[in-house]
C-alpha cells in the first residue's frame, strides 16, 4: 500500500481525494493545510479520506510519498524540507520552479535526501514525447496559450489592453518561458512544464493570447529537432470546483499515484 501525504486541500486536492476514495492500494495518512483552511480540509477528509489527519505541516510524519497540490508557495514551504528528509515528492505547481534558484534548490534537497522529486504533466500532454525528443536533440519548442480575455484579469495583460472590449485575439506576451513565469506566475505551470521537459526556461518560446473566440484554455505546442517534429493542440475543460484549474491537472495527479501503486504502469 502506498501511504501519501497530500499538501493542499483546495479544488485540486479535494478532487484528487474523491477520485482516490476506495482505492485499496493508496492510503492518505495526512492532509497538510494552513490553519485558516482546516475546517474546509476536515470536511473534505471526513467525506473522502476519514482516516487522514489534518495538520499544518508534515512535522515528523514519514509517508511513502508527498503530493503537492497547494500552489507555488507550498513547494518551498513543504516540498523542500520533505525532500531533504528523504521523502519522495510529486509536484503540480511547476511554475514555482521559474523563480530564480528554485529548480536547483529542489534538485539539491532531493540529492541530500537521496530521493527524487517528480514534476507532473498537469494540464498539458505530450511531455513524454518532448522529453524523449530532447535525448536525440531538440531545435525549437514553441508554446502558444489562448484563454478568454477575462481569464487574464489581474495579470499584466489588464494594463496592456482592454480585456473586456476585445473583439479579436490579442497577443499579450511573447518571449521566453522564464519571462512568462515571472510576469504571469499564476499561468506559468504549462510553459514551465514544457520547458523542463524540453529546452529549458530560456530557450522555450512562449506566446500568450487573450482570445474572445475561445471559451476554454487552449494549449498548442510545436517541437522540432533530430527526431522530426510534432504539434499538439489541447483544449482543456475546467475543473467544476474551480474554473481556473484544468480538470486534466487532477487526472495527472491520480495517474501518477496509480503508476506508483500498481504492478503495471504506463
Q: Is 219 one of the catalytic residues?
A: yes
Q: Which cell numbers hold the place of 119?
A: 514534476
Length of the chain: 266
- Do 150 and 164 meet the contact criterion of CB atoms below 8 Å apart? yes
Known binding residue 189? Answer is yes
The 3-state secondary structure of 128-168, one letter per residue: HHHHHHHHHCEEEEEEEEEECHHHHCCCCHHHHCCHHHCCC
CA distance 172 to 149: 10
CA distance 223 to 48: 40
Q: What is the C-alpha R_g of the chain? A: 19
Burial, 179: exposed, middle or buried (Cβ in 10 Å; 0-12, 13-18, 19+)? middle
Beta-strand ranges (E) seen in the chain are 2-7, 26-32, 53-55, 65-68, 89-91, 117-119, 138-147, 170-176, 205-210, 217-225, 228-236, 238-239, 242-246
Known binding residue 123? Answer is yes
- Do 90 and 56 meet the contact criterion of CB atoms below 8 Å apart? no
Q: Which cell numbers hold the place of 191?
A: 510553459
CA distance 184 to 177: 10
Catalytic option among 38, 219, 220, 258: 219
Binding site: residue ranges?
123, 189
Binding site for NAD(+): residue ranges?
123, 189
Q: Residues with catalytic annotation? A: 219
Amino acid at each position: 500500500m502506498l501511504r501519501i501525504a497530500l499538501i493542499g486541500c483546495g479544488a485540486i486536492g479535494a478532487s484528487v481525494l474523491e477520485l482516490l476514495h476506495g482505492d485499496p492500494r493508496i492510503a492518505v495518512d495526512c492532509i497538510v493545510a494552513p490553519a485558516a483552511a482546516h475546517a474546509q480540509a476536515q470536511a473534505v477528509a471526513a467525506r473522502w479520506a476519514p482516516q487522514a489527519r489534518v495538520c499544518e505541516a508534515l512535522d515528523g510524519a514519514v509517508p511513502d510519498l508527498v503530493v503537492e497540490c497547494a500552489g507555488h508557495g507550498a513547494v518551498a514551504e513543504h516540498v523542500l524540507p520533505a525532500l531533504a528528509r528523504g521523502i519522495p515528492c510529486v509536484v503540480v505547481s511547476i511554475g514555482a520552479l521559474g523563480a530564480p534558484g528554485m529548480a536547483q534548490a529542489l534538485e539539491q534537497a532531493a540529492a541530500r535526501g537521496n530521493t527524487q522529486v517528480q514534476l507532473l504533466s498537469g494540464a498539458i500532454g505530450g511531455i513524454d514525447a518532448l522529453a524523449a525528443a530532447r535525448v536525440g536533440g531538440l531545435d525549437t519548442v514553441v508554446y502558444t496559450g489562448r484563454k478568454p480575455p477575462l481569464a487574464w484579469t489581474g495579470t499584466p495583460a489588464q494594463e496592456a489592453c482592454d480585456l473586456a472590449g476585445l473583439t479579436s485575439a490579442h497577443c499579450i506576451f511573447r518571449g521566453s518561458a522564464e519571462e512568462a513565469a515571472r510576469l504571469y506566475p499564476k499561468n506559468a505551470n504549462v510553459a514551465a512544464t514544457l520547458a523542463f521537459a524540453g529546452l529549458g526556461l530560456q530557450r522555450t518560446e512562449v506566446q500568450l493570447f487573450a482570445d474572445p473566440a475561445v471559451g476554454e484554455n487552449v494549449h498548442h505546442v510545436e517541437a522540432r529537432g533530430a527526431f522530426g517534429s510534432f504539434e499538439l493542440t489541447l483544449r482543456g475543460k475546467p475543473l467544476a470546483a474551480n474554473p481556473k484549474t484544468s480538470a486534466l491537472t487532477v487526472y495527472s495527479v491520480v495517474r501518477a499515484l496509480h503508476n506508483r501503486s500498481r504492478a503495471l504502469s504506463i
